[in-house]
Amino acid sequence: MSTNFVALHSSLYHQGLADQTIVRTALDDNNYNIKTTIHPLPITEVENGFAMAENSFLAWFSLVLSFPFIAGTFGTFIVQERMTKAKHLQTVAGVKPSAYWLSSYGWDIMNYQLPLWIVVILMFALGVDAFTTTEYNVRSATIVIMFLFGPAITGFTYVATFLFKSPSKCNMFIIVFNFFVGLAGSLVVLILRFIYLGTVLNGGTSNLKYVAQIIEWVLRPIPSFCLGKGLLFSTNISAFVLVEGKPLDAWSDTIMGTEIIFLAIESVVYIILAIYIDIWSTRPSIVRYFTRKPVKADPEEAEEEEDEDVIEEAERVQRGDANSDKIVLNELTKQYPNGKVAVNGLSIGIPAGQCFGLLGINGAGKTTTMGILTAEFPPTSGDATLATYSVTSQPEETRKRIGYCPQFDAHFMNLTGLEHVKLYASIKGIPRDVIDEAARSKLSEVGINEFDSNRLSSQYSGGMKRKLSVACATIGNPEIVFIDEASTGMDPVSRRDLWEVISKMVVADNDPGHRCSVILTTHSMEECEALCPRIGIMAGGKLKCIGSAQRLKNRFGQGFQVEVKVDEPTKTDDDLKEVIFTLLDLKGNVPNSDPESGNGNEEIFFNLDGAISAAQKVSGDNYISDKITEDDVSGNFIFKSASSDVGVELEELAAFFTITLRLKSVMSFFAEEYKTSTIRETQDTRMRFEVPSAGVKISSLFSCIEENKEKLHLQDYGISQTTLEQVFNMHAAAAEAAKEGTDDA
């Protein structure tokens, strides 16, 4: 069963059928047909405008939805560079904010042209008359407003990126925010105006028109609203002509005129605003003014006694005796918003031609210090001068004179190593005609060959990326270089190449005018001793000690380090034979011994109780037996063997007893000869003692051990001064102990 809903046409259709039947009867011709057609009156111009507006809504919706996706891509790259600190590295290298933002601005506008003109071509190809008609000058106004939207939304996105640290979050916000404002804002003002129109036509009064105007002025600073409102109003221009009662076109203020003017202004204002926000945010003096926070002194830290060399260095800086130094840190302090003091009153002067080693465990404040010196963020208090220029108030001048190799690898994944170095060479002002030669020479210095220099940096290993970072930092022979753990991940040969590069910069062919000052942070004590005539150790944000490697060893070393290795017992050793005889004498008293085995030592086994009893008999006390436990490192294997069903074999037990007695005799020897000595380490048959240097000459120490070498069964021994690593570990251990029970633990 079907129903004909076209009742309006049914009477005419039935009349046609009746007339056809009459004619067929009169002519006696069943092939005669009458065709019924309906021709409605042509629609008016106003009706045509309304119909076009309805049909163009989908096209308008598609434009408002798609264009924010283009804007989202503009912000992703900017935030990504800031997150990876590639932006900071470029700023340190000398890229001015205006150059950075204007180059990005120009590139993004060029990229915007492709989707823009594809959309325009598709509108003409698909016959979207609401946007392509020449009536009311809609075509020209539509193209202009879409063209101006690109520069305006680019600048707007740049400003918005300062609110984000995550590229994905920034991209999502730009897309959703602009789509919502462009869609909802435009529809709201249009609906309010139509409601106002209906109310007025019915003889009522309404202020909704003014509400709509207020919303328009509030949202016009947002480019997506200007685009959405302008395009939506142009599709309903016929209705506005009817309402206003006067001639209008798409360029009129009511339709697109005001929005086009706003987009033109925003195209300039937002990019200028982004440049100045960047300048302000990278100028430490301005940031510190708005984020200054008094540093609360920790009572425990106030009671902590400072090292005399650290105090002397701080006083030298305070007196002005370090003013001629290339790098001067004066009471540098950094406290984060969470209250953590990362750097606390750091005062150091580093002259030209010196490589200063800054050591410290992770979290000691080294990288924060580097961040302050490169003007990444301001100090909470204090200041630093680089080549006489203040880091906080003259960062532009300091950046002209420094090279920075950060702890991270801030590289462009689609550039080769050679292109990276050439880029930074250009930024630092190396003449164009020598850039290629200088870049290749620098890559060769750091150990990157011709083949690798032409590979993409994304294909580099971790060590090669560190080499590339060093090359980028040192190109152009800067006066000051900051190197933050550059040798991490490098092989020994590459590490030596790096040392040579640093040494050449510092020495500068003995030319005092071109000597470079370097601050090197590293975890390699060997590297620090090889390169740095002065070393500072940081812990808990404070400088714990400063001086040459030898000075630190003398002041904080605990004397001499004596390492000895005890001989493994052999069957011909008298002490081993004596132990075996003692165990054989006990075999009848050991429950697990085999009385019928005769004198075959290899067939005699001891269970756990028997082994402990034998240990007490051999040593005459509990010294050996106390080691036969599951928790003791040296006696664990004897414990497990003796606890088994078979037990521990006699010769194996005898060897363990002999070695233990030999180690005990070594400890007794040092306790008697050097009463203040301390055993620092025991591992298998190796032992390390610390002998205070007070009243002890290294010659007498050698002589004493050599005379007793055979008696103590020593295979070899070595005597050395306290190493720099041991001094470092001492301060690190103290810092870790101080952190226990705090928020940093």
Provide the pLDDT for residue 555: 79
Of residues 259, 190, 189, 250, the one with CA closest to residue 220: 259
Residue 472 maps to a domain = yes
Q: Decide the pairing of beta strands 355-359 and 517-521.
A: parallel
586 plus 496 within the same structural domain:
no
Which residues have CB under 8 Å from 31's CB, separation 6+?
Answer: none
Q: Please indicate, yes or no, whether residues 381 and 336 belong to a single structural domain of this protein.
A: yes
Given a cut of 80, whether residue 402 has pLDDT beyond it is yes
pLDDT at 600 over 50: no
In a domain, 297, yes or no: no
Q: Are residues 96 and 110 in the same domain?
A: yes
Domain identity same for 569 and 630: yes
Would you state the pLDDT for residue 304?
A: 63
* Percentage of the chain exceeding pLDDT 70: 90
pTM reported for the whole predicted model: 0.73
Mean pLDDT of the residues in the chain: 84
Same-domain pairing of 276 and 332: no
The answer to whether residue 298 is domain-embedded is no
Instruction: Please check whether residues 470 and 615 belong to one and the same domain.
Output: no
What is the C-alpha to C-alpha distance for residues 471 and 93, in angstroms, rounded to an integer?
12
- On the question of pLDDT at 745 being above 50, the answer is no
Specify if 632 maps to a domain: yes
pLDDT digits (tens, 9 = 90+) for 375-391: 888 888 889 999 889 99
Residue 479: inside a domain: yes
Is 70 exceeded by the pLDDT of residue 338?
A: yes
pLDDT at 680 over 60: yes
Lowest mean pLDDT among 365-374, 588-597, 614-623: 588-597
**Domain ranges, residue 199:** 45-282
Tokens in use for 192?
A: 């309010």
Looking at the structure, tell me whether residues 58 and 13 fall in a common domain: no
DSSP bridge pairs for 546:
536
pLDDT at 220: 94
Among 239, 265, 282, the domain boundary falls at 282
Is residue 405 domain-shared with residue 507, that is, in the same domain?
Answer: yes
Last residue within a domain, chosen from 282, 298, 318: 282
Residue 295 lies in a domain: no
Q: Are residues 365 and 445 in the same domain?
A: yes
Residues 666 and 707 grouped into a single domain = yes
Q: For residue 405, which of 320, 490, 328, 307 has the smallest C-alpha distance?
A: 490
Count of the separate structural domains present in the chain: 4
Residue 732 lies in a domain: no
Q: Name the percent of the chain lying above pLDDT 90.
A: 28
Joined tokens for residue 658: 């002999």
The reply to whether 734 falls in a domain is no
Residues 214-262 have pLDDT tens digits of: 999 999 999 999 999 999 988 888 778 777 777 888 898 888 999 999 9
Who wins on pLDDT, 721 or 660?
660
Q: Are strands 560-566 and 686-691 parallel, antiparallel or unpaired?
A: antiparallel
| 163 shares a domain with 101 | yes
Instruction: Show the 3-state SS of 372-418.
Output: HHCCCCCCCEEEEEECCEECCCCHHHHHCCEEEECCCCCCCCCCEHH
Helical H segments across 162-236, by residue range: 167-180, 186-201, 208-219, 223-235
User: What's the pLDDT band for 50 if we cut at 50, 70, 90?
Assistant: low
CATH code for the domain in which residue 325 is found: 3.40.50.300
Q: Does pLDDT of 522 surpass 50? A: yes
Residues 488 and 547 placed together within one structural domain of the fold: yes
Q: Computed from CA positions of residues 295, 301, 303, 308, in that sequence, does the dihedral angle turn out positive or negative?
A: negative
The answer to whether residue 594 scores a pLDDT higher than 50 is no
pLDDT range class, residue 290, cuts 50, 70, 90: low
